[in-house]
Amino acid sequence: MSVSIRPARPDDLPGIARLAGELVRLHYAFDPRRFLLVDDVEADYARFFQRELESAQALLLAVEAEGDIVGYSYARLEARDWNALLDEHAALHDIFVAEAARGSGVGERLLELTLAELRKKGAKLVILHTATANTAAQRLFAKAGFRVSMLEMSATLD
Quote the mean pLDDT of the chain: 96
In a domain, 150, yes or no: no
pTM of the model: 0.95
In a domain, 49, yes or no: yes
Looking at the DSSP assignment, which residues form a beta bridge with residue 58? 76
pLDDT band at 72 (very low <50, low <70, confident <90, very high): very high
State yes or no: pLDDT of 71 exceeds 80: yes
In a domain, 157, yes or no: no
Q: 1-47: per-residue pLDDT in tens?
A: 689 999 999 999 999 999 999 999 999 999 999 999 999 999 999 99
In a domain, 152, yes or no: no
Q: What is the mean pLDDT of residues 106-124?
A: 97
In a domain, 95, yes or no: yes
Nearest by Cα to 106 from 22, 24, 1? 1
In a domain, 148, yes or no: no
**Alpha-carbon distance 68 to 12, whole Å?**
9
Nearest by Cα to 63 from 116, 126, 9, 117? 9
Rounded (5°) CA angle 75-122-73: 20
In the chain, the number of structural domains is 1
Residue-number span of the structural domain to which 11 is assigned: 3-143
CATH code for position 23: 3.40.630.30
- pLDDT at residue number 2: 87
In a domain, 158, yes or no: no
In a domain, 155, yes or no: no
